Amino acid sequence: MTVQPHKPLPAAFDLNGKHALITGGAGLLGIEHACALVETGAVIVLTDLDENLLDQAVIEIRSRFPESIIHSWKMDVTDKASILSVSERLRESDIDLDILINNAAIDSKVDEHGNIENGGRFEDFELDDWQAQVDVGLTGAFLCSQVFGPPMAVREQGVILNIASDLSVIAPDQRIYRQEDLPENEQQKKAVTYSVIKTGLLGLTRYLAAYWGEQGVRVNALSPGGIQTSQSDAFVTRLTNLIPAGRMARKNEYASAVQFLCSDASQFMTGQNIVMDGGRSII
Ligand SMILES: NC(=O)c1ccc[n+]([C@@H]2O[C@H](COP(=O)([O-])OP(=O)(O)OC[C@H]3O[C@@H](n4cnc5c(N)ncnc54)[C@H](O)[C@@H]3O)[C@@H](O)[C@H]2O)c1
């Protein structure tokens, strides 16, 4: 279905004239965040590691919002020089950034066979994997906030949104990742990094919200629950049994929260975390 952007909106949600940079923007949720903000009028600066992925993402966003204005620029959130070069490109293009969404991650995800990508038992978790995942998910958010936040503080307006997870407020329940045919010492586990990164993002959120509060830069977190994609049926059933809503999320269900958190609709809210997880974290 094609939806035209710039429909009449409640004024507080209107992002016309605003520029939003999304990290990890070519991934599953990055595209959804972009669509959410395009729908409310923002111009998007979509960034990711890979130009091909970015091109595909732009095609997907334009197929849903043909009039969207998107700059798609390569940016590695672990590399300060790469972030600074995007900042320079913004300056050359006369773009003042209004919104930063720290979304990039190397996630530990379950595939159709029930295997966990980027997972690992705590006992054997490699330091290199820890470092690589923390570099993207946590240090990347620190570096992007450090580069893009100060100009917002100078202009006395801006929004930073950190994408955390329901696992920022609860521990992973490792039983849902079990594979019946594997011995105990080969059972895969949700990575320790995931908990540490997502919980750390809440600390960064509160720190920066307090730090820049008087300069009009608001910093909040969104904690989505798991989105159903191609995970194995066994995993989906076990996870669903832990969710009061009785299902995993659909990829477009966070759009309204992104629109709220990135606009004046949330203007008196900073340092907070919205947990949208079908109730998973309440039981
Ligand atoms: N998908 C879910 O079910 C879910 C649930 C809760 C939270 N989240 C969070 O939402 C965010 C997006 O998740 P997703 O499902 O879209 O993941 P995804 O893997 O589809 O997208 C992540 C993107 O980050 C990019 N990336 C990786 N390293 C990077 C780097 N060094 N610099 C720049 N970009 C880099 C990847 O290329 C990828 O496009 C993540 O922070 C994730 O933890 C996802």
Query: What are residue 169's phi and psi, to 5 degrees?
Result: -120, -10
Domain over 11-282 is classified CATH 3.40.50.720: yes
Confidence at residue 186, expressed as pLDDT on a 0 to 100 scale: 87
Does residue 146 carry a pLDDT above 60? Answer: yes
| Neighbour count for residue 198 (Cβ, 10 Å) | 23
CB 120 within 8 A of CB 189: yes
**pLDDT for 3-47, tens place per residue?**
555 567 899 999 999 999 999 999 999 999 999 999 999 999 999
**CB 27 near ligand 1, within 6 Å:** yes
Give CA–CA dist 7/180, Å, rounded: 51
Q: Is the CB of 222 under 6 A from ligand 1?
A: no
Mean pLDDT to the nearest integer, 97-126: 94
Question: What are the tens digits of pLDDT across the range 204-236?
Answer: 999 999 999 999 999 999 999 999 999 999 999
The alpha carbon of 150 and the centre of ligand 1 are apart by a number of angstroms equal to 25
Q: Whose CA is nearest to atom 19 of ligand 1?
A: 27
Q: Residue of the nearest CA to atom 1 in ligand 1?
A: 227
Rounded Cα distance, 93 and 15, in Å: 19
266 pocket-lining for ligand 1 (C-beta < 6 Å): no
What percent of the chain lies above the pLDDT cut of 90?
91
Tokens of 60: 């997907």
Residue 202 Cβ inside 6 Å of ligand 1? The answer reads no
Instruction: Calculate how far, in angstroms, residue 183's C-alpha sits from the geometric centre of ligand 1.
Output: 30
d(CA 109, CA 41): 32
Ligand 1 mean position to 209 CA, how many Å? Answer: 23
> How far apart, in whole angstroms, are the C-alpha atoms of residue 10 and residue 1?
23
